[in-house]
Amino acid sequence: MHTRQKWNRVKEFFIEWLIRICGISAIIFVFGIFFFVFKEGAGFMFTKWDPVQFFTSIEWYPTSVSNKRYGILAIIAGSASVTFFAMLIAIPFSLGAAVFISEFCGPKWKEVLKVIIEFLAAIPSVVWGFIGLMIMNPLIIKIFNAPIGLNVLNGGIILALMSIPIIVSISEDALKAVPDSYREAAVALGVTKWQMIYRVLIPAAKNGLLAGGLLGVGRSIGETMAVLLATGHAVQIPNGPLDSVRTLTATIAAELGETEQGADHWQVLFIIGIFLFSITFVINLIAYLVVKGIRIQAGES
């Protein structure tokens, strides 16, 4: 009897510590990655870096023989425009899909639709890029009479299709979490189904829907392979959705292989990495604060 109790206590101790380490490991990995990226770019950052030129100049000439310039404004505009366009397409679609699955579907269709949407997430991003390059390119040229089909529109559509599974998943969970009593109360008051969804359910599921949307944004900003192939990889500020652009992620992916370790170009690419990391961090922080703010508001009212 005594040995059994002792053995249980030891087991408890070890399992608790194992789980604790797993939990903390996430923090360790995030800090580890941040320090690694920071260390690689730090040399250039504290000596020859000109932050004004970096963030306000559109001239990106890292391999110039005569005049090296490191300005990423056009590339930031590229990332921002493609993400914005992707969210413009993805969020209404995802919301609609989530509402449909959660409110209008029978149980059999619900499972089928959820599985099919998950398939969208399983497609490798390089295949998405290939679809953008080979299928959407001539299609966009024909439909919009554009000079070239590799542009913000192409990248935006591809990114939207990639983010939809994530946003639908989370939004559908958020809608499912709204208690049935809300729905019953609304119906008892005599509203139509659409009024119930629009005025009761969506405001009640605000937290989850916002979290899903921001996760989609995070996914779109970080996507590399698909935008590398589908956006035309051109350093310029787009004048409209039919212009080619280049994203921050594609720049790093395309140019890191050519530089020697420790060269200026290498370090500048890592500074871009730090910048991307910070953007994602800020987005997640905003998401957390907004969700917390909504909660406080809800708590007070």
Partner 1 sequence: MNKHIKLPKALALATFAGVMAVFMTGCGSQSTNDGAQGEAGDDQIMIQNAGSDTMVNLAQAWAEHYATVNPKVSIEVSGGGSGTGIAALINGTTDIANCSRAMKDAEKKKAKDASGKDPKEHIMGFDALAVYVHKDCPLDEISLEQLAEIYGENGTITKWSQLGITIPGCDSDEIIRVSRQSSSGTFAYFREAVLGKTRDYKLGSRDMHGSKEVVELVQTTPCAIGYSGMGYATPEVKMLKIAKSAGETAYAPSVENTIAKTYPIARPLFIYSLGEPEGALKEYIDWCFGPEGQKIVADSGYVTLSN
Residues interacting with partner 1, by CB under 8 A? 58-67, 74, 137-138, 141, 145-150, 228, 232-236, 244, 246, 254-255, 257-261
Query: Taking CA 147 as the corner, what is the angle to CA 144 and CA 152, rounded to the nearest 5 degrees?
Result: 70
Quick one: which of 238, 208, 289, 255 has its CA closest to 83? Answer: 238
- Least Cα distance to 219 among 168, 274, 280, 269 occurs for 280
Residue number, 93 or 264, with CB nearest to partner 1: 264
Identity of the residue, 88 or 134, whose beta carbon is nearer to partner 1 in the bound complex: 134
Residue 129, judged by CB atoms within 10 A of its CB (0-12, 13-18, 19+), counts as: buried
- Please state, in angstroms and rounded to a whole number, the distance separating the CA atoms of residues 287 and 293: 10
Please, which residue, 260 or 300, has the CB nearer to partner 1? 260
Q: How far is the CB of 290 from partner 1 (least distance, A)?
A: 34
Nearest distance in Å: CB 261, partner 1 = 6
Q: Which is nearer to partner 1, 95 or 101 (CB)?
A: 101
For partner 1, give the closer residue by CB, 206 or 233: 233
DSSP type of residue 103 = I
Secondary structure element (H or E) that encloses residue 186, with its range? helix 180-188
* Residue 243: CB minimum distance to partner 1, A: 8
Q: In the bound complex, what is the minimum distance in angstroms from residue 144's beta carbon to partner 1?
A: 11
Nearer CB in complex with partner 1: 138/203: 138
What's the Cα-to-Cα distance from 259 to each of 59, 66, 254, 255, 277, rounded to whole Å?
Answer: 19, 17, 10, 7, 21
Considering the complex, what minimum distance in angstroms separates the CB of residue 63 from partner 1? 4
Nearer CB in complex with partner 1: 44/60: 60
End-to-end Cα spacing for the chain: 55
CA gap 75, 268 in Å, rounded: 13
Q: What are phi and psi of 50, to 5 degrees?
A: -115, 95
At closest approach, how far in Å is the CB of 29 from partner 1? Answer: 26
Q: Do 97 and 168 form a contact (C-beta atoms < 8 A)? A: yes
Measured distance CA(58)–CA(174) in Å, rounded: 41
Nearer of residues 92 and 138 to partner 1, judged by Cβ: 138
Q: Is 282 exposed, middle or buried (0-12, 13-18, 19+ CB in 10 A)?
A: exposed
- Minimum CB separation from partner 1 for residue 289, in Å? 37
